[in-house]
Amino acid sequence: MSHKSYDSSEHVVIIGYFSDNNENPEAPLPRETIPLEQDLEQLETQLREVNANQEQLNKNFLELTEVKFLF
């Protein structure tokens, strides 16, 4: 039997091994999903920031490259 549990003290997801007999993994308890959802929201926010920063860095690089060829 496979299972997935959440250790909220360390914020580490522990994934059990899945058997080959097509058993469905056990769903986490509702109280276990709250910290997972909070972590997911935080990661989504951070990823949006990283993407915005990358876009700005690309624009800055292009602008600096253009200025370099002007002088």
Can you name the residues that pair with 14 across neighbouring β-strands?
5
**For residue 17, how many C-alpha atoms fall within 13 Å in the half-sphere facing its CB?**
3
- Could you count the other beta carbons within 10 Å of the beta carbon of residue 28? 15
Number of domains forming the structure of the chain: 1
Amino acid identity for residue 63 in this structure = E
- What does the pLDDT look like over 5-56, one tens digit per residue? 555 455 555 555 555 677 888 888 999 999 999 999 999 999 999 999 999 9
Cα angle, residue 68 at apex, residues 63 and 70 outer, rounded to 5°: 95
pLDDT band at 3 (very low <50, low <70, confident <90, very high): very low
Tell me which residue range forms the domain holding 63: 4-70
